[in-house]
């Protein structure tokens, strides 16, 4: 990622957007407080980056990355002493897309995505596990206006997982992937960004060793973010994410995060 930033700055002609934010929530109760409430401090650091460039008349490259990490400190309900910090957020995601703008109804594309985390606490490993997804297919811009944009991609995708933990399985999956992303300016101070990713596996390298066919189920990840700029450096963020992966659990996972904190646009 650092190499891409350096390349963008040296070669010029890139559309660059980099912003960083720090969210903090806090509550505290002393020893005299009567009740089961406990204090907590949660901090989250987030960096969003995007780079795009028209490499030629018929070749466009874009790269989007998000880095996030946070911890929660909580009080013991009886002693009111502070417990060791627990990880609350940990995300590394980077996706590059190369699109061939042929002037057709749809445009061919190839993409590469990395998904990981900064710390694998269970195995005391950094940046583990890592999942790479290579995809190719057809892309289409559904909507493109001054204050709203929506794009879609449909193609074949191959997922490879590299887990350095002892005894870990490293399966490879192949199947169909649909990605729809969009953004909309809601007002002078508010904007919405969303991304829906649907994956249907048709092949699994470990299928014969698995106890069931859960890997064949359709997976999806639907992320929604509303950002409100209260001032130049203070921003309110509402995140709602819905995830379904039957390999992990046969129920929709829901993540909701409401935070206010400092935000600074570097580029």
Q: In whole angstroms, what is the distance from residue 22 CA to residue 40 CA?
A: 17
H/E segment holding residue 7: helix 2-11
pLDDT in tens, 118-174: 999 999 999 999 999 999 999 999 999 999 999 999 999 999 999 999 988 899 999
pLDDT band at 223 (very low <50, low <70, confident <90, very high): very high
Higher pLDDT, 259 or 160: 160
Q: Buried (b) or exposed (e) across 151-167, using 16+ Cβ within 10 A?
A: bbbbbebebebebeeee
32 has a pLDDT exceeding 60:
no
30 has a pLDDT exceeding 70:
no
pLDDT band at 79 (very low <50, low <70, confident <90, very high): confident
Angle made by CA atoms 172, 133, 200, in degrees to the nearest 5: 70
Instruction: Check: CB of residue 88 under 8 Å from CB of residue 69.
Output: no
Least Cα distance to 94 among 3, 12, 28, 186 occurs for 3
Residue 180 pairs in a beta bridge with 152, 196
Q: Tally the C-alpha atoms within 13 A of residue 113's C-alpha that lie toward its C-beta.
A: 14
pLDDT in tens, 178-193: 999 999 999 999 999 9
Per-residue model confidence (pLDDT) at position 208: 92
Q: In whole angstroms, what is the distance from residue 80 CA to residue 251 CA?
A: 35
């Amino acid at each position: 990622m650092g190499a891409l930033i350096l390349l963008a700055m040296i070669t010029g002609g890139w559309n660059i957007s980099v912003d960083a934010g720090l969210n903090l929530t806090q509550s505290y109760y002393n020893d005299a407080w009567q009740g089961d409430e406990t204090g907590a401090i949660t901090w989250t650091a987030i960096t969003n980056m995007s780079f795009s460039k028209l490499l030629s008349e018929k070749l466009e490259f874009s790269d989007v990355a998000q880095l996030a990490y946070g911890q929660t400190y909580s009080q013991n309900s009886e002693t009111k002493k502070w417990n060791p910090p627990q990880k609350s957020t940990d995300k590394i995601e980077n996706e590059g897309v190369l699109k061939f703008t042929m002037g057709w109804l749809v445009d061919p594309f190839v993409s590469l995505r990395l998904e990981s985390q900064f710390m694998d606490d269970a195995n005391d490993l950094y940046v583990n596990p890592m999942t790479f997804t290579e995809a190719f297919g057809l892309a289409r811009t559904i909507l493109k206006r001054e204050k709203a944009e929506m794009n879609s991609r449909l193609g074949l995708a191959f997922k490879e997982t590299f887990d350095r933990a002892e005894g870990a399985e490293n399966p490879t999956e192949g199947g169909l992937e649909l990605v729809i992303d969009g953004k909309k300016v809601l007002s002078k101070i508010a904007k919405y960004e969303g991304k829906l990713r649907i994956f249907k596996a048709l092949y699994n390298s470990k299928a014969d060793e698995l106890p069931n066919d859960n890997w064949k189920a359709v997976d999806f990840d639907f992320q929604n973010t509303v950002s409100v700029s209260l001032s130049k450096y203070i921003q309110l963020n509402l995140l709602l994410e819905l995830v379904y992966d039957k390999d992990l659990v046969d129920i929709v996972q829901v993540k909701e995060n409401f935070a206010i904190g400092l935000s600074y646009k570097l580029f």
